[in-house]
Amino acid sequence: MAELIGGVGTSHVPAIGAAVDHGKTQDPYWKPVFDGMQAARDWVARTRPDVCIVVYNDHASCFSLELTPTFALGVASHYEPHDEGYGPRPVPRVEGAPELSWHLAESLILDEFDITIASQMTVDHGLTVPLSVLFGQPESWPCRVIPLCVNVIQYPPPTGQRCLKLGQAIRRAVESFPGDLRVAVIGTGGLSHQLQGERAGLINAEFDQRWLDEFVTEPDKAAAHDHVELLREAGSEGLECVMWLVMRGALQPEVEVVHRFYHVPASNTAYGLLVLEDAARASRPLAAQPA
């Protein structure tokens, strides 16, 4: 049976990808951000997930206005990085995990989630930047990836509650997969930022920190902020933090914080990073985890 080994929340700011790609991670502007990532990199190196389910949004890259799936789950054998106008990011091709993907798709749909099944898709910075955050610049990504693309561009995105429930259903689905896989869920996006309008540049660190507190200890409360409140407090693009809640739902109600980091700014965004394990798992002696 597959095992849910933990979750990561991280912003997916494109500028972070650019900093990695152009060797600027040690520039004074970026060093604090990348220093803050180290503990997450250590965690993922230690826990070595076989598959990461990356919950992200597409930014008018692979999807366009013709068709807007609320939840699109990738079932492909691989995903090419999308050209977002600067040429595709110089990162490895993303290798899929079609058996587990199809198992998720089938389980989730029978569990009353109205998933869109994506057999061919490209992935943009929303997915590849979190991989760079966790893995740096390897020759090939050290794990297989299942993209779960959430609409947060076209109003309305799914509610926080719906995202939390989807995470719970993903947990059930992973644990019913008849394969010996270690699976992590990566929630991406946010935290507070607004790219558009006269409020462009909005950051609300107070709201973010309070929301992160709730996220860890009272996920139902973190999920209960409605869209208007998120738009108001976290900014029109900060609303994408609902995607973290899919990760949170996949973990048990009681979690242990392995790492928490928050930094303003990363480009126009409040950068947040959180690594969680189920409390039950975290309290196991380290020897019980793979070295």
Partner 1 sequence: MNPTPRDYHDIPGTYVFDGAHQRKGYWLNMFCKSLDLAANRERFRAAPADYLAGFPMTDAQRDAVLLRDWLGLLRLGGNIYYTFKLAIFDGLSMQHVGAAMSGTGMTVDDFRQMMVSGGRPAEGMRSRRENREACHG
Q: One of 82, 103, 125, 263 is an active-site residue; which one?
A: 125
284's contact among a second copy, partner 1, Fe ion, none, with CB below 5 to 8 A by partner kind, is: none
- Residue 125 falls in the annotated catalytic set: yes
Other C-beta atoms lying within 10 Å of the C-beta of residue 41:
16
Specify the residue for token string 């991989």.
131
Whole-angstrom Cα distance, residue 33 to residue 16?
A: 9
CB distance 154 to 68 below 8 Å: yes
Residues 58-87 that bind a second copy (CB under 8 A): 65-72
99's contact among a second copy, partner 1, Fe ion, none, with CB below 5 to 8 A by partner kind, is: partner 1
Q: From the CB of 21, what's the least distance to a second copy, in Å? A: 29
- Write each residue from 227 to 256 as x if it is in contact with a second copy (CB under 8 A), else as -, in one continuous string: x-----------------------------
CB distance 146 to 52 below 8 Å: yes
- Residue 22 falls in the annotated catalytic set: no
- Complex with a second copy: residue 117 or 257, whichever CB lies closer: 117
- Alpha-carbon distances of 271 from 180, 183, 266, 276, rounded to whole Å: 34, 24, 6, 17
Burial of 130 (0-12, 13-18, 19+ CB in 10 A): buried
- Among 238, 246, 236, which Cα is nearest to 149's? 246
Question: What pairing do the DSSP bridges indicate for beta strands 51-56 and 144-150?
Answer: parallel
C-alpha radius of gyration, the chain, whole number: 17
- Complex with partner 1: residue 41 or 232, whichever CB lies closer: 232
92's contact among partner 1, Fe ion, a second copy, none, with CB below 5 to 8 A by partner kind, is: none
Residues 165-194 that bind a second copy (CB under 8 A): 165
Q: Which residues bind Fe ion (CB under 5 A)?
A: 57, 189, 240
What residues make contact with a second copy under the rule CB under 8 A?
A: 65-72, 106, 109-110, 112-121, 151, 154-159, 161-162, 165, 227
Return the active site residues: 125, 193
